[in-house]
Amino acid sequence: MTDDDLLRYSRHLMLDEIGIEGQQRLLDASALVIGAGGLGSPVALYLASAGVGRITLVDHDSVSLTNLQRQIAHDMTSLGRLKVESAAARMAALNPHVEVRGIACKADAALLDEEVPRADVVLDCTDNFATRHLVNAACVRHARPLVSGAAIGFDGQISVYDSRSRELPCYACLFPPESGFEDVACSTLGVFAPLVGIVGSVQAAEVLKLLAGVGEPLAGRLLMLDGRRMQWSEIAMQRDPECAICGAG
């Protein structure tokens, strides 16, 4: 750790739970972020500012004017630009010592099988069930912890799905692929702008905890936020032994 690092991350180093060893683990770590929009924006900025050494962003979309209400990694100068390029530029401005790689395509099974094993932790910052299930399945196959968030309207949810433990549920245990959940897009119902910031910030916090070895992760618990009342609730989740994704074998 350089003198510049000691100054940049001094507020982490002051925390007994993190200190120099925990910060060094962050500097040595890699994260895969699927989605560079509403949730991916605060996630990407906080991971970069906290010094996570290698961050890969995956998103096929470009920045539009409707994104700027909530996607804080982008601004007016980003309109028409690929989101992974826009976010990477903002991250570099925050912390030029972090290695950021952008992949401008949809996250399919082949891409995930290539990228998930390279990461220490994976973040689902997407907005559709099909991609969430692909990400979850890849994390189960390659035994990588998954930090998943979702936000629509005034409602948000966050959890950690850690398939490294056979006792913990995966995303499909709670939301089976065959259950027929329908995607609800922000363009249809809207989304309260700060909600994605709150959910994304909690996702970033869970990732930093996992990487630094701090505290207790949200594994086995689903944290839900009612933004109308600003009220949090939590439910315990159980692993489904018959789950088609993590229950086989």
Q: What pLDDT, on a 0 to 100 scale, did the predictor assign at position 45? A: 98
Nearest to 129 by CA among 86, 183, 87, 167: 183
Q: What pLDDT, on a 0 to 100 scale, did the predictor assign at position 205? A: 98
Q: What pLDDT, on a 0 to 100 scale, did the predictor assign at position 185? A: 55
Domain 3-236 - what CATH class? alpha beta
Instruction: Please pick, among 125, 170, 186, 246, the residue that the annotation labels catalytic.
Output: 186
Q: What pLDDT, on a 0 to 100 scale, did the predictor assign at position 81? A: 98
Domain boundaries defined on the chain: 3-236
Nearest to 236 by CA among 172, 180, 159: 159
Digit-by-digit pLDDT tens for the chain (249 residues) are 899 999 999 999 999 999 999 999 999 999 999 999 999 999 999 999 999 999 999 999 999 999 999 999 999 999 999 999 999 999 999 999 999 999 999 999 999 999 999 999 999 999 889 999 999 999 999 999 999 999 999 999 999 999 898 899 999 999 998 776 555 555 567 899 999 999 999 999 999 999 999 999 999 999 999 999 999 999 999 999 999 999 864
Q: What pLDDT, on a 0 to 100 scale, did the predictor assign at position 8? A: 97
| 170 in active site | no
